[in-house]
Amino acid sequence: MTVSKKAPREHRKYLSRPDVQAYLKKYPDATAQEKYDLVKWLKSGQSPATNDCNLCDDRGYPLDFIDARRTLNDLIQLHLMYPADPKEHWLKSPDDAYELPF
């Protein structure tokens, strides 16, 4: 993967590191924002194999940086789809709370 000449010099320095190049090969669809956030993460001395939210997969292993960001964005979008009060989503009327579905 080649780093765009449009990227700032400091970002190119981080994005052209061999370990980061190998990491980004897993994510050819990484957006400019994801790469920008990754550079900020790397500048703080962290590894792309870790994330700042301590998110883990279903086996308990930490998600890498981009997977964690994408998972967090998905969770936020899912949260925004539903109303704040669960009764508004699941019940059509207050009377439905007392009716059994069978």
- The pLDDT assigned to 7 comes to 61
What tens digit of pLDDT does each residue of 31-58 get?
Answer: 989 988 998 898 888 889 999 889 999 9
pTM above the 0.75 mark?
A: no
- The pLDDT assigned to 71 comes to 94
CB distance 56 to 62 below 8 Å: yes
**DSSP states of 46-83 as a string?**
--TTS-TT--B-TTSPBP-HHHHHHHHHHHHHHHHHS-
N residues, the chain: 102
- The pLDDT assigned to 58 comes to 93
- The pLDDT assigned to 83 comes to 65
What are the residue ranges spanned by the domains of the chain? Answer: 9-91
The proportion of the chain whose per-residue pLDDT surpasses 90, expressed as a percent, equals 33
Q: Is the pLDDT at 102 greater than 60, yes or no?
A: no
CB distance 69 to 51 below 8 Å: yes
Task: Taking residues 89-97, report their average pLDDT.
Answer: 56
Q: Is the pLDDT at 59 greater than 90, yes or no?
A: yes
